[in-house]
Amino acid sequence: MASPTSILSLLLLAAVVSSAEVIRMYPREHLVRLDSDPECESWKFSVEVNAAGSWSSIPRPCVSFVQDYFNTGRYLSDSISVASYSENFALSVNVADGDGMDAWVFDVDETLLSNLPYYKDNGFGSEPYNETSFNEWVYKGLAPVLPASLTLYKRVKKLGFKIFILTGRAEFQRAVTEQNLIDAGYSGWEKLILRGREDEGKKAIVYKSEKRDELVKQGYRIQGSSGDQWSDLMGFALAKRSFKLPNPMYYVS
């Protein structure tokens, strides 16, 4: 039986190998600085695990930290990690043959599509949300794909899951949203669900829970759910497993 000392040595060796792999994957200029602000790192951690609760803007001292997070390999790496865990779970689900009732729910913004070009031009979330300018950006239909999410999307579709796209975007944005998704490489979803007039004024967590509940009442088993906001994933009619993508730019309740 291996001694605690030898086990610890193996773990340390694994950590070194893992670090070497990361350095090989990302050129040094794309790695976050080792002197990264620990207070901002802790703030981001609290945001991602929902310990911070509702928040309206990035603390001023952490704006450059968030910029670095998105402009370096860390955001990409975190997104890949979430997609990997999601795929492992998807592979563990016994999708019923011929049933067609196993479902996976995806959010759109910062989940399937990235609005990073817009936020780069608008302070990375350091400024209050401007609905008018954001809608103008949406209507351009230029939001790029999140590569890790596209890989996951294609994988769960191939496994036989019915895919539902549930977004907080409004019904009048359906055409541009559909085209943007198609241009980004997505196809074959079962239904794209957007906010209708009856959903106006509802908090995101209520609206999304109600829409998931409608799917459950239709007989669908929501096995997986992917979103960048806790309000995408919490509430009721929950998925068997929910996967939170990183987003330290804004919070939607």
CA dist 36 and 14 (Å) reads 24
134 pLDDT band, cuts 50/70/90, is very high
CA dist 107 and 192 (Å) reads 10
5 pLDDT band, cuts 50/70/90, is very low
Enumerate the domain spans of the chain. Answer: 35-244
pTM, to two decimals: 0.84
- 189 has pLDDT over 60: yes
The superfamily CATH assigns to domain 35-244 is HAD superfamily/HAD-like (3.40.50.1000)
Higher pLDDT, residue 18 or 180: 180
105 pLDDT band, cuts 50/70/90, is very high
Name the β-bridge partners of 191. 164
Q: In this structure, what is the dihedral angle of CA atoms 73, 79, 83, 84, given to the nearest 10 degrees?
A: 40
- 150 has pLDDT over 90: yes
Q: What is the pLDDT of residue 36?
A: 60
